[in-house]
């Protein structure tokens, strides 16, 4: 079906309170992630190109050799196989929308973040 209500998409608990809803197309995926305050995402990389948009909260992203504090409305691009990490700086949850091509499955995200 080509239409979705976000609330109808199953929310999955990845780990450490991180929640995700994901939509998969043939060549792209979109993930809506919510991070608890002060969550740390360790350095990792993947073969997918990633574009993200911060919707809520404040996060510090390191992408390759570049680090920036990102707030609502900040967008970023992560090339394939580029090491990146993030930490939530806000004392409220942070929410981001991530787009991946090729699609990135939830189980792939969990495995890489725990590595």
Per-residue confidence in pLDDT tens, the chain, 115 aa: 688 888 888 999 988 899 999 999 999 999 999 999 999 999 999 999 999 999 999 999 999 999 999 999 999 999 999 999 999 999 999 999 999 999 988 765 554 444 3
pLDDT at position 109 is 55
What's the rounded Cα separation, in Å, for the pair 14 and 73? Answer: 24
Q: What is the pTM of this model?
A: 0.87
Q: What is the pLDDT of residue 65?
A: 98
HSE at residue 8, side-chain half, CA atoms within 13 A, is 4
Q: What is the dihedral of CA 78, 83, 88, 93, to 10 degrees?
A: 60
Q: For residue 112, give the 3-state DSSP assignment.
A: helix
pLDDT of residue 107: 64
Q: How high is the pLDDT of residue 113? A: 45
Using an 8 Å Cβ cutoff, are 41 and 59 in contact?
no
Half-sphere CA count of 35, side-chain side, radius 13 A: 24
Using DSSP, state whether 13 is helix, strand or coil.
strand
Return the CATH class of domain 12-47+57-114. Answer: mainly beta
């Amino acid at each position: 079906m080509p239409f979705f209500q976000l609330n109808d998409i199953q929310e999955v608990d990845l780990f450490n309170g991180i929640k995700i809803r994901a939509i998969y197309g043939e060549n792209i995926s979109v993930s809506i992630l919510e991070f608890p305050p002060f969550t740390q995402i360790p350095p990792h990389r993947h073969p997918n190109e990633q574009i993200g948009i911060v919707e809520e909260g404040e996060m510090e992203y390191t992408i390759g050799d570049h680090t920036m504090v990102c707030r609502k409305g900040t967008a970023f691009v992560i090339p394939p196989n580029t090491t990146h990490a993030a930490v939530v700086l806000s004392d409220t949850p942070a929410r981001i929308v991530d787009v991946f091509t090729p699609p990135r499955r939830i189980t792939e995200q969990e495995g890489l973040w725990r590595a």
